[in-house]
Amino acid sequence: MKNVFTALVLAETTVVAGMIAAFFMYEPPVTWLDAVRPPQCAVTSDTLVLAHIFGPIPGESPVWFVTGSTGVWHRREPVKTILVVARTTAGSLRLHGHRLDGPGELAFQRDVDGDIARALEIVDPWHDSMRPGGPSVMQMYAFVPMYVYYPSAGCWELIARVGDRTVRIVTLLKTEVAAAFDRHPQ
């Protein structure tokens, strides 16, 4: 009986010690303050380019950013995204991005089986375009589908360069807790 009791105490002590170690080794992806109150972020305003297809979307000529995000960050989940590129500017499309209010870089993936990269270059975005909206829309715009990986919640800047034009698009992703506080103001 004494051996069983000793084994139970030893097992319980091991579990508690493991939980304490895990607690002190855990690094949250955002600060505790950001988890309940998102950082201030000057997000890019929406425009009504192609409103009949997408509704209001952020960006400016020649690049707009259609994101499948709800504005809530989910760890390790890529966000389906479409870049709308005006055919008025020629050249390859180059993308990269970073967090404005902390450390972190965006990562991109062209398709589900593609490589994940910190920067993405598409030599001919007009050839790689999806085909929504019919021929008249396709004559004016290319629609480049991809996935974007956000390593954490926060204020993110996507930098898109087409030919000699650069467009910066800023977006905010909140934690689920911060988004819940936004829906239920005090």
Give the per-residue SS3 of 154-186: EEEEEEEEECCEEEEEEEEEECHHHHHHHHCCC
Residue where the block lists tokens 């956000």: 150
Whole-angstrom distance, CA of residue 178 vs CA of residue 77: 18
Residue 97, CB half-sphere, CA atoms under 13 Å: how many?
Answer: 25
10 Å CB burial of residue 55 (0-12, 13-18, 19+) is exposed
Pick from 90, 95, 88: which is nearest to 110 by CA? 95
Contacts of residue 30, Cβ cutoff 8 Å, sequence gap at least 6? 152, 153, 154, 175
Domain 35-183 has CATH 2.60.40.2550: yes
Whole-angstrom distance, CA of residue 169 vs CA of residue 156: 8
- pLDDT reported for residue 141: 82
Instruction: Give 64-109 pLDDT, tens digit per residue.
Output: 998 888 888 887 789 999 898 988 888 889 999 999 998 999 999 9
- pLDDT reported for residue 100: 95
- pLDDT reported for residue 31: 57
- pLDDT reported for residue 137: 62
Contacts of residue 107, Cβ cutoff 8 Å, sequence gap at least 6? 116, 117, 118, 148, 149, 151
The pair of structure tokens assigned to 62 is 């020649």
- pLDDT reported for residue 130: 57
- Within the chain, where are the H helices? 2-25, 32-36, 51-54, 135-140, 176-183
Tens of each residue's pLDDT in the chain, 186 residues: 667 667 666 667 665 555 554 444 444 455 555 555 556 788 898 888 777 777 888 999 999 998 888 888 887 789 999 898 988 888 889 999 999 998 999 999 998 888 999 998 988 776 666 555 555 566 678 888 899 999 999 999 999 999 899 999 999 988 877 777 665 444
CA dihedral 81, 172, 169, 49 (to 10 degrees): 60
